Amino acid sequence: MREITNHIEIKLDYSPNSENPSRLFKSFAEVIDATSKIDSIFSKSVNSNYSQKLILEDIEKGSIVTKLIDWIKINPSNQIDDIQSDENIKNYIQNSREKTYKFIEDKKDSPEDIQELKNDLESIAEENQVRGSFNYQPPNLIELAETINKISKATNELNDEESYQIKVEEGEPIKIKSDSKQINIDDVENILADNTLENESILFYKIKKPDFLSESQWEFKYGSKTIKAKIFDSEWLKKFQSGSVEVRPGYSLKVKAKSITKYDKNNKLISEKFEIIEILDVIKNG
């Protein structure tokens, strides 16, 4: 069993006598969770057979500073080649992590920025000789973007004078301030997608969770799957919101639906989304 450790320091600079202090601890917890997730994404790209633990090393008095040990164990049982040295793996994870934090620090979010991050991560893998390994697979860019968004969302709890400093090993601290940018996940999917298929069909969706405000997506049961879909039938939505149409969880909708599936260059499914174009009928299930 191969073991790799990284020491991570997360510091929250905050204003004395800040109002609503619970928001700081909530934000701090979310950043710690996202930090662990980022390491998980890069560890999994080296070898899918791994385990990871984030261990609390120390909490400094007088400020909100947490020192963590990220402990990664890689099982070599399914490793076909051995070109990945522990030092290469550690450097790959550390450099990829720092590149990701710098992306957040610089408040990047455009499709061009995402493409640049993707290219940079590929270069880091090449430079550290992990990309040529049979076990290597590119880090999941959608998962990474979603995790970046979690950190950005956590900074929304901060005011203009508050910020995070994240330091890994002996690297330079990276400062992340409030109002960091949110990545549009559709942009990431479009960068990865090599083929997009759209299909329209008449289907029955069983309502699991309605969207009473019609601002987001409804949740449905479709066979053994739970799916989310936004309704674009504005006339029906007006009737639903006025109460002239009775709809409850357990009822079914007969709908004209569109499915949008995106595949990468290896025909691996990237995403599958559903839209409801028209409501044809409401069925009260017995």
Q: Please state, for a pLDDT cut of 90, what percent of the chain lies above it.
A: 58
Average pLDDT over residues 133-154: 91
Domain boundaries, the chain: 2-190, 194-283
Bridge partner list, 166: 10, 174
C-alpha closest to that of 258 among 214, 208, 204, 202:
202
| Architecture of the CATH domain 194-283 | Beta Barrel (2.40)
Model pTM?
0.82
Average pLDDT over residues 264-271: 92
C-alpha closest to that of 2 among 43, 36, 56, 41:
43
d(CA 209, CA 230): 12
Mean of the per-residue pLDDT values of the chain: 88
Average pLDDT over residues 241-265: 94
Average pLDDT over residues 137-164: 92
Are the C-beta atoms of residues 210 and 228 closer than 8 Å to each other? no
- How far from each other are the two terminal CA atoms of the chain, in whole angstroms? 56
pLDDT at 231 over 90: yes
Q: Which tens digit of pLDDT belongs to each residue from 23-76?
A: 989 999 999 999 999 989 998 898 777 676 777 777 776 568 888 777 777 666
Complete edge-to-edge strand list for the sheet that includes strand 174-177 = 50-60, 64-74, 2-13, 163-168, 174-177
- Say what the pLDDT of residue 207 is: 96
pLDDT at 286 over 70: no
Q: What is the 3-state secondary structure (H, E, C) of 128-173?
A: CCCCCCCCCCCCCHHHHHHHHHHHHHHHCCCCCCCEEEEEECCCCC
Provide the CB-side half-sphere exposure for 194 (13 A, CA): 7
Q: Three-class SS of residue 281?
A: strand
Using pLDDT thresholds of 50, 70 and 90, give the confidence band for residue 191: very high
- Say what the pLDDT of residue 80 is: 46
